[in-house]
Amino acid sequence: TPTLAFRGVAKVFPTGTRALEDVSIDVRAGEFVSVVGPSGCGKSTLLRLAAGLDGATEGEVDVRASTTSFVFQEATLLEWRTARRNVELVGELAGVAAAERRRRAAEALELVGLAGFEDQHPRSLSGGMRMRVSIARALVAEPQLALFDEPFGALDEITRLKMQTELQRLFQLKGFAAMFITHSISEAVYLSSRVLVMSGRPGRIVDDIEVPWSYPRS
């Protein structure tokens, strides 16, 4: 059974905007799927439905993951907390003991290359570093499904290339299923084993492409 499944999903907003039409998607365990398409075709709406932040008007959204994490374009960090305490938040909410929380947060920050920056506040970090904190916070929960909404869209190109490499490495290491929204075809092809192409208003899936040279899972 897929980790994430959409079956004939349509979304109509109360304003009358039809954002999605007849969308069917499977994301299998450990699979990295990108969704590309032009601005306004419904990519964010699709991700919000997958995240359970909004409901489908027609069809079904089925999530078979005990833990789901999200990463949005703006690294939505708590400015008054240090990097480490931003990452610890997940454990605090889940009632994990302080020492264990601290250990997991340090490990997650090290994984994203932020060892030594644990005690800095977000405002003193660069855009790329803030995104790294956001990714560490998403991965510290050991999600089975990770949802990304254009996480690197606001970064400069060099930082974006570094972050793509970083995310690919974390994916190899952690083995979560991922749905990654982007309007960059090159980013989608680099990151994922499957690229879903969305188009139109309302948005539909118009192509489903296997990327044949994707990285073998170790």
Residues making contact with ligand ADP (CB under 6 A): 13, 15, 17, 19, 37, 39-45, 73, 149-150
For ligand ADP, the closer CB: 9 or 111: 9
List, in sequence order, the alpha helices (H) in the chain. 43-50, 83-94, 98-111, 127-139, 157-174, 185-191
For ligand ADP, the closer CB: 102 or 201: 201
For ligand ADP, the closer CB: 101 or 160: 160
CA distance to 13, 63, 123, 187, per residue, from 168 (Å): 34, 23, 26, 11
For ligand ADP, the closer CB: 91 or 203: 203
Instruction: State the nearest-atom distance from the C-beta of 218 to ligand ADP, in Å.
Output: 33
Instruction: State the nearest-atom distance from the C-beta of 123 to ligand ADP, in Å.
Output: 23
Segment (H or E) for 24: strand 18-27
Segment (H or E) for 10: strand 4-12
Instruction: State the nearest-atom distance from the C-beta of 44 to ligand ADP, in Å.
Output: 3
Structure tokens at 107: 């490990």
For 74, other C-beta atoms within 10 Å of its C-beta total 14
For ligand ADP, the closer CB: 91 or 202: 202
Taking Cα atoms as reference points, which of 161, 156, 105 lies closest to residue 135? 105
Q: Note whether 7 and 62 are within 8 A (CB).
A: yes
Instruction: State the nearest-atom distance from the C-beta of 203 to ligand ADP, in Å.
Output: 7
Instruction: State the nearest-atom distance from the C-beta of 49 to ligand ADP, in Å.
Output: 10
